[in-house]
Amino acid sequence: MSNQITHKEIQQRMLEGFPPGQSDESTVRRLWWAALDTLQYDIILPMRPPRGLWLASPLPALYETKLLDRLQGWVWTPDEFETLQSFSGSFLPPSQVISKTSCKSFRNNCYNRLSLKKEDGNDPFLLIITPEVQVAIALEGSEGRRNFLMRSDPQTLGDVLKLVDTRLSSDDPGQAIELRKELGNLGQLKINKDLEKFFWLRLSERLAQMAPSLTLQSNIDNSKAKNPVNDMHGELSLLEALTHEVRTPLATIRTLIRSILRRQDLPRQVYKRLRQIDDECTEQIDRFGLIFKAAELQRRPPDQSRLASTDLGSMLKILYPGWCQQLERRGVCLHLDVTPELPQVLSDPESLEPMLGGLIDRSSRGVPKGGTLSLQLRAAGSRLKLQIISKALNDQRNSAFEGHSKLGPVLSWNPNTGSLQLSQAATQQLLASLGGWLTHRRDSRLTVFFPIADGKH
């Protein structure tokens, strides 16, 4: 269709007022991935939006499960994208809207697929609309003149939405109606005038914390390079960069896998294998996410203002089935014992969930097949006491920290299991940022104390 709006036209509208780009492909891609982290973890997630929408091209850009759980998505992908499931057909039709009920079985990682045209190009584009955040980012430009674009002003976003609506009406009128409906359900949007300033500040901080290039390292004065403080800074920068490079492709793979899992006619064995891949990706994404947070805490003190009343007992019960499946793959049995009607604790529920998963992962790594892991939550005066007790089949001792060699300020290495984990000090610091206090004994037992909330939070 000759008069169809292309994504290049949308990107050109975003470019208005920007100077021509002068970057290479590597630089703008670095900006793009850092921007995705900034938007998801520094801006949108802390606001905990109850609902919203996102549109992306040419692949799903969002990868944080908590956001995909709440936001309705539309993604333009190439038709060749469908060859990933060539064994029996194509993806769900672009017009098929995935219900919230069906999404929950795959952690709500859902979006509606639309066809990308050749004239759209392959430069990435992402538009996010929530009641408190409205922002669009994109890459554009020819080789050597690449540009990273970020727009949050109402006029530009309004024009972008009109172009998107026109394109969506051409691709699938039903989806255009659905988009307008979702926009209407958001109610009055709050325009955040400081969003652009905050975005560029946090983006620059993320980029500054990434590992410096070899060229820059070679120009550092030798006396400074030998300084322990500079050494630690370099280690943390490299660690943060590596965790980012690991999580990003895994998150993309997981999103693609979940797209395939929506099919209703997958052979049982194929479905089982894909779910295993999904689970493994999720485990590693969460594990490296904790490593990244631990490295960040070495640079900046924790923000205790985020702590709020948290129902730890209910959280354990909700997460328990997923942990059971995870440990079953290793031949380890998990038991949960929670005292009824316990009070709430003071913590950060958004960050506590992956932290608990990290403790389960750490405690189970050294448990041989046939062993057990027990979780016990009890009252302990003005605190709640969470104990994770591991037991091998032959009653051999197995400590979550025993046998580990420290690798820098964040990581430890267990040569017996080949396991790379957070160090004890880093684990204690992470839990402290979430209101917890970690102790451990050499009898295969981890204990974490959480303060009981006083009802004022």
pLDDT in tens, 239-255: 766 676 677 778 778 87
Q: Is 276 in the same domain as 143?
A: no
Q: Is 333 in the same domain as 445?
A: yes
Does some domain include residue 1?
no
User: 156-163 contacts: CB < 8 A, separation 24 or more?
Assistant: 156/13, 156/14, 156/16, 157/127, 159/13, 160/10, 160/13, 160/14, 160/127, 160/136, 161/127, 161/129, 163/5, 163/9, 163/10, 163/13
Per-residue pLDDT for 105 more than 70? Answer: no
Give residue 289's pLDDT.
Answer: 82
Average of per-residue pLDDT across 72-88: 64
Per-residue pLDDT for 191 more than 70? Answer: yes
Give residue 378's pLDDT.
Answer: 94
Least-confidence region, from 18-27, 56-65, 102-111 = 102-111
Q: Is 237 in the same domain as 291?
A: yes
Residue range of the domain that includes 319: 304-451
Contact between residue 347 and residue 435 where contact means Cβ atoms under 8 Å apart: yes
Could you tell me where the beta strands, DSSP code E, fall in 228-363? 308-310, 333-338, 345-347
Write phi, then psi, for 215 (nearest 5 degrees).
-65, -45
Average of per-residue pLDDT across 61-89: 70
Could you tell me where the beta strands, DSSP code E, fall in 78-214? 112-115, 125-129, 134-140, 147-151
DSSP letter (8 states) at residue 42: I
Per-residue pLDDT for 277 more than 60? Answer: yes
Could you tell me where the beta strands, DSSP code E, fall in 123-269? 125-129, 134-140, 147-151
Average of per-residue pLDDT across 31-57: 90
Contact between residue 276 and residue 404 where contact means Cβ atoms under 8 Å apart: no
Nearest to 45 by CA among 64, 72, 31: 64
- Rounded Cα–Cα distance for residues 128 and 139 (Å): 15
Report the SS3 class of residue 304: helix
> What is the SS3 string spanning 257-271?
HHHHHCCCCCCHHHH
Average of per-residue pLDDT across 319-339: 91
Per-residue pLDDT for 206 more than 90? Answer: no
- Could you tell me where the DSSP H helices lie in 336-423? 349-365
Could you tell me where the beta strands, DSSP code E, fall in 40-196? 52-57, 71-77, 112-115, 125-129, 134-140, 147-151
Q: Is 86 in the same domain as 191?
A: yes
Sign of the torsion formed by the C-alpha atoms of 429, 434, 435 and 436: negative
Contact between residue 11 and residue 138 where contact means Cβ atoms under 8 Å apart: yes
Give residue 290's pLDDT.
Answer: 83
> Tokens in use for 106?
């795959």
Q: Is 338 in the same domain as 289?
A: no
Give residue 232's pLDDT.
Answer: 58
The b-or-e profile of 221-238 (16+ CB within 10 A means b, else e) is eeeeeeeeeeeeeebbbe
Give residue 311's pLDDT.
Answer: 93
- Which residue among 275, 300, 325 closes a domain? 300
Q: Is 158 in the same domain as 18?
A: yes
Average of per-residue pLDDT across 335-341: 94
- Which residue among 237, 268, 300 closes a domain? 300
- pLDDT category at 380 given cuts 50, 70, 90 is very high
Neighbours of 31 (CB within 10 A): 22
Does some domain include residue 456?
no
The percentage of the chain sitting over the pLDDT mark of 90, rounded to a whole number, equals 32
> Tokens in use for 411?
């990581």
Contact between residue 448 and residue 376 where contact means Cβ atoms under 8 Å apart: no
Higher pLDDT, 265 or 96: 265
- Which residue among 300, 323, 343 closes a domain? 300
Give residue 204's pLDDT.
Answer: 87
Q: Is 359 in the same domain as 375?
A: yes
Give residue 159's pLDDT.
Answer: 95
Give residue 320's pLDDT.
Answer: 93
Neighbours of 397 (CB within 10 A): 12
Sign of the torsion formed by the C-alpha atoms of 39, 43, 10 and 50: positive
Higher pLDDT, 295 or 7: 7
Give residue 226's pLDDT.
Answer: 46
Least-confidence region, from 125-134, 225-234, 377-386, 442-451 = 225-234
Total domains in the fold of the chain: 3
Q: Is 200 in the same domain as 80?
A: yes
Per-residue pLDDT for 222 more than 50? Answer: no
- Rounded Cα–Cα distance for residues 78 and 94 (Å): 12
The percentage of the chain sitting over the pLDDT mark of 70, rounded to a whole number, equals 76
Give residue 298's pLDDT.
Answer: 76
Per-residue pLDDT for 90 more than 70? Answer: no
Least-confidence region, from 18-27, 301-310, 342-351 = 301-310
pLDDT (tens digit per residue) in 417-449: 566 778 888 888 888 888 999 887 655 688 999
pTM, whole model, 2 decimals?
A: 0.56
- Rounded Cα–Cα distance for residues 248 and 198 (Å): 23
> Tokens in use for 439?
């102790």
- pLDDT category at 147 given cuts 50, 70, 90 is very high
Higher pLDDT, 311 or 27: 311
Q: Is 250 in the same domain as 325?
A: no
- Rounded Cα–Cα distance for residues 207 and 423 (Å): 25
Average of per-residue pLDDT across 152-175: 93
Least-confidence region, from 9-13, 221-225, 304-308, 407-411 = 221-225
Sequence-ordered list of residues with C-beta below 8 angstroms from that of 241, at least 6 positions apart, any chain = 210, 211
| Strongest mean pLDDT among 85-94, 227-236, 369-378 | 369-378
Per-residue pLDDT for 6 more than 90? Answer: yes
Cis peptide before 58 (omega within 30 of 0): yes
Residue whose tokens read 């440990």? 327
Mean pLDDT, rounded, of the chain: 79
Q: Is 243 in the same domain as 169?
A: no
Domain containing 342 — which CATH number?
A: 3.30.565.10
Q: Is 142 in the same domain as 73?
A: yes
Higher pLDDT, 415 or 84: 415
Give residue 184's pLDDT.
Answer: 93
Give residue 37's pLDDT.
Answer: 87
Per-residue pLDDT for 86 more than 80? Answer: no
- Rounded Cα–Cα distance for residues 422 and 297 (Å): 13
Contact between residue 74 and residue 110 where contact means Cβ atoms under 8 Å apart: no
What is the H or E stretch that residue 451 is in? strand 445-451
Least-confidence region, from 75-79, 101-105, 209-213, 298-302 = 101-105
pLDDT (tens digit per residue) in 113-135: 888 888 998 899 999 999 999 99
Give residue 43's pLDDT.
Answer: 93
Does some domain include residue 28?
yes
Does some domain include residue 457?
no
Report the SS3 class of residue 402: coil
Q: Is 323 in the same domain as 419?
A: yes
Nearest to 120 by CA among 204, 246, 9: 9
